[in-house]
Amino acid sequence: MRQQIAKVLKMLKKRWPNPGAMEIGNPYQNLVGVMLSARTRDEQVLKLMPGFFKAFPTVGKLAGATTKQIESKINTIGMYRQRAKNLKKMAEQVVRGKGGRGGKGEIPNTMEELVELAGVGRKTASVVLVASFNTPAIAVDTHVHRVTNRLGWVKTKSPQKTEEALLKLVPDQYKHAVNQVFVKHGRYICIAKPRCWACPVRDLCAFKNKNFVAPKNADAILEDMKRRENALEDLRQKAVV
């Protein structure tokens, strides 16, 4: 199984070579991006990032801002009032040294410390650990949960259980790639009605109801995938001022 896991991840990394959408900047910028991206389109978050980081370039500046000031920079996304409260409290915690790495103002680099911060759960913490600290972790969202179950790697009923299973199953050197490739794969190809006709790992997949019939507009669908990925990567690269 581990050999198959490595093979699948290598193949999908070739198909989806770009980093995760919120793998941006330094640990502070990375954490803010991931916090804002929960239940929100990546494109919406990336578009507001330049203005946000121009206003709050450091965690100290964010801690010193009012909630209203923070709201004004994120009010283009949903639940912005609650998100602003979480961002301010998180920043205040970091500035005070809560969970810091030997000093105030440093974003924590362990799962245990990160999840103590306001608005930070295991999924958010996992993305930050991988992107900012090169620490083996697996962030499991609905895409990762769906795709790994279809592949037959796990048989789980919830993202939490999927994370537990994958952490035991996936070798450390490949854990960083799981969220990167499966979020994109689940968004474009392994959708509710899967596009198995476009899947490079379909022969390594245990899913029984495969859809091998390409639609008449298959070329247009593939071109749209490429366009969307290129647009997202362009936004990601411009997210940090």
- Tell me which architecture the domain covering 27-133 has in CATH: Orthogonal Bundle (1.10)
132-149 pLDDT, tens per residue?
999 999 999 999 999 999
Asked if the domains at 2-18+138-237 and 27-133 fall in one CATH topology, the answer is: no
Residue 98: its pLDDT value, please? 65
Span 65-80, pLDDT tens digits = 999 999 999 999 999 9
pLDDT at 217: 98
pLDDT for 97:
81
Residue 238: Cβ within 10 Å count: 13
187's tokens: 């968004």
CATH of domain 2-18+138-237: 1.10.1670.10
Q: What is the spatial distance between Cα 38 and Cα 26, in angstroms, rounded to a whole number?
A: 19
Which pLDDT value is given to residue 99? 52
What amino acid positions are annotated as catalytic residues? 123, 141
Domain ranges of the chain: 2-18+138-237, 27-133
Structure tokens at 88: 């301010």
Spans of the chain, pLDDT less than 50: 100, 102
Q: Kind and range of the H or E element at 152? A: none
- Specify the pLDDT at position 105: 79
Distances (CA, A) of 85 to 42, 62, 63, 77, 104: 20, 11, 11, 14, 20
pLDDT at 102: 45
| Predicted pLDDT at 115 | 96
